[in-house]
Chain A
Amino acid sequence: MGQDKELLLSLHIDQKIEKSKSIIKEGLEKFGRDKTSLAITGGKDSTTALWIAKNVCDEMGLKLPVCMFIDEGDVFDEIREFVEYIKNLWSLDIAFLKNRDVAEKAGALGDTVKASSLNDVNRAALSEMNFSEEEFPFIPDSTVCNHLMKTLPMREFIVKNNINLMSIAIRWDEQAARKEDAFFVPRENPPHTRMHPILHLRERDIWIAIFKNDIPYNKLYKLGYRSLGARCATGRASDIPAWMQDLENTPERVGRGQEKEKMMDQLRALGYM
């Protein structure tokens, strides 16, 4: 993949979008529109991927597959508004997922959730991850909450709707952990295939595609956010619009997971890492 990857990353934006279209087309032909779902977050990447998918479906004479939006417990109001906006704009069918049991038992952010107060499914999910404490804090980007609030609703959605192909808008240059990903990846638990149609787009390409094709984007980016996640785990990278920042030389996820960054910083100061 090494050489192919370099080649794909160096393409012109129009060629990159053509490549994305051919991936989506391949996925839809192989798995069928009704067994496909598109994950959306209201962020720039999944909105761009959705726009590309819409073009493919229009060309194929299909209605867009169902979109999946996960509410992890701390969603920006601006994201809700934006998702509502594109829903109306493109007549989207969106499944809004939320682990209500955990969210209700937690109440507010940072509150303690007693494991024994949760339903069987959530308790089983906790023991699956070897969690043996009696309680945990409700912090959407923590390992426990990630599992309960994101992984679990997605799994249920896939099983319940018999989804075989899940499209996710990750990119190779987004963070180092994505570097080895492929366009189609088989996954277990539950068995399905992940499709990554915009892997080869860089952060800069996304903004070029957005402005060139008039794709809607969330106003938070204009305020300086580069990457959007749970509200409590997302910060502004700068106070100038995302697309005007030094995209090539500063980290995209700079405002994300600030607790983790702080922790790493303290450990580094003492010679770890």
Chain B
Amino acid sequence: MGLDGVPYTLLKEYIERGLMPEVGKLAGTGKLLKMKSTLPEISSVAWTSFMTGKNPGEHGIFGFMEINRDTYEYTFPDFYSLKERPVWERNGWKSVVLNIPQTYPAKPLNGVLVSGFVALDLKKATYPERVFDYLSGMGYRIDVNARLAAENPDEFFKDLFHTLGKRKEAIEHLYDNEEWDLFIAAITETDRLHHFFFDSALAGDHYDKFERFYREIDAFIGKMASKAKEDGAGFLTCSDHGFTPIKSEVYINRWLMENGYLVLNSGDGLTGITRDSRAFNLDPSRIYIHLEGKYGRGPVKSTEYEPLRNELREKLKEISFEGQKVIKEVFTKEEIFKGPQTANGPDLYLLPNYGFDLKGVANRPNIFGMTRFRGMHTYDDAHLFSSAPLELEDPKIEDVASIISEWVRGSAP
């Protein structure tokens, strides 16, 4: 079971508070660990590492969007863009895969696949067709309407619980009615709740919703865990990243502009980038050097690459907000990615301190600001729960695929 954006520390706290008795019981008999996400700590990247067992330098997914190197328009990698195959495809296992991000459009497999975020059309998101008939018939929801969160919180919560209900119903139905050796289903509603209301996760205006929501999640996990136990299957839950409240959003492209590295002559994304621009940022904090030859308007010569990258690295580390350092660490791509796709990765990646939500948006008037979001992803506070003993003490999300593989190959743990 994937629990999108559910932090280890939050689970521990809710067990402590008695909100999650089922998960508490499971943690007593199995193993609940803190887990590292990928860099970038973004759902599309992290879930791709989850399903392939590879790092972004191998699977080639570095974010929800990339940029066309000639027109500078955004492009959107989809399921077909993965350079490594998910474990179920590699091994041809009889599988049910429901709602994992970055699996749209659905590809044929030995089993059932229903794509997760960003899935636009349920029909294209579902394989085979009979499952589409079931899902459309029962009123399945691919995702909540996130726009409601700021406009009408009451409606958003209604939609959130409704979508979670449909998700649980579809998961149970497929679990009970399909043949499988591997069953994977993710719940996305956790991430959606956190993005807009994580400042209420421990106390606050909307804490009552968190209580109600997590009691429902807990009961469902308990139910699925006991089904798995009856079937002699191993049971695992994990998240793709953690969450923490936002102190400030930080617009890195604005910083690049104010420091003379980026010049845009239009407000439409990065399409108005000029030949004077030496670097740009894509969500969340992927810094690319605007190299000549690599990009249509790139002015930076290859001999200038390393000096510029070092200069940026030093300067970006110094960004501060009300006396606090914004950036925890700056990595070069060679430090965090390995594999043939590394060259397509960002030249620098910025990992922020908790509370500073780094953004790729290009048209903000200031470096710092707040919008409707109240929670941001964290890298080091995802969770992993296993019903069976694990040798790992410090797991990363790309380790999960090999645990799954061992379990499927060796039948039940």
A interface list, Cβ under 8 A from B: 110, 112, 130, 132-133, 135-137, 143-144, 175-177, 179-180, 259-260, 262-264, 266-267, 269-273
**Cα distance A112–B105 when bound, in Å?**
11
**Partner among B74, B75, B143 whose Cβ is within 8 Å of the Cβ of A266:** B143
Q: Is the CB of B283 within 8 A of A179?
A: no
**Partner among A176, A180, A259 whose Cβ is within 8 Å of the Cβ of B120:** A259
> Considering only CB atoms, which chain B residue lies closest to A259 in the complex?
B120
Q: Is the interface of A mostly helix, strand, loop or mixed?
A: mixed
**Cα distance A75–B120 when bound, in Å?**
23
**Cα distance A133–B373 when bound, in Å?**
37
**Partner among B143, B269, B297 whose Cβ is within 8 Å of the Cβ of A180:** B297
**Partner among A137, A143, A269, A272 whose Cβ is within 8 Å of the Cβ of B64:** A272
Indicate whether B134 reaches chain A with its CB closer than 8 angstroms.
no
**Cα distance A175–B118 when bound, in Å?**
25
A188 CB to nearest B CB, Å: 12
Q: List 12 A-B contacts (CB under 8 A).
A: A136-B80, A137-B105, A176-B268, A176-B271, A177-B72, A180-B297, A259-B120, A263-B120, A266-B143, A271-B371, A271-B373, A273-B361
**Partner among A132, A135, A263 whose Cβ is within 8 Å of the Cβ of B118:** A263
**Cα distance A262–B120 when bound, in Å?**
7
Q: Is the CB of A272 within 8 A of B83?
A: no
A111 CB to nearest B CB, Å: 12
Q: Is the CB of B266 within 8 A of A266?
A: no
> Considering only CB atoms, which chain B residue lies closest to A267 in the complex?
B64
A272 CB to nearest B CB, Å: 5
- Number of B interface residues, CB 8 Å? 40
Residues in A with CB closer than 8 Å to B75 are 143
> Considering only CB atoms, which chain B residue lies closest to A272 in the complex?
B283
Indicate whether B165 reaches chain A with its CB closer than 8 angstroms.
no
Indicate whether B360 reaches chain A with its CB closer than 8 angstroms.
yes
Q: Is the CB of B74 within 8 A of A270?
A: no
Q: A266, A269, A271 — which one has the most chain B CB atoms within 10 A of its CB?
A: A271
User: What 0/1 pattern do residues 267 to 290 of B give for CB contact below 8 A with A?
Assistant: 011011010000000011000000
- Given A112-B108, A133-B80, A273-B269, list of 9 further CB < 8 A pairs? A110-B124, A130-B83, A176-B268, A179-B271, A180-B297, A262-B120, A267-B64, A267-B118, A271-B373
**Cα distance A267–B120 when bound, in Å?**
11
**Partner among B76, B146, B360 whose Cβ is within 8 Å of the Cβ of A269:** B146
Interface residues of B in 148-199 (CB under 8 A from A): 192, 195
Indicate whether B11 reaches chain A with its CB closer than 8 angstroms.
no
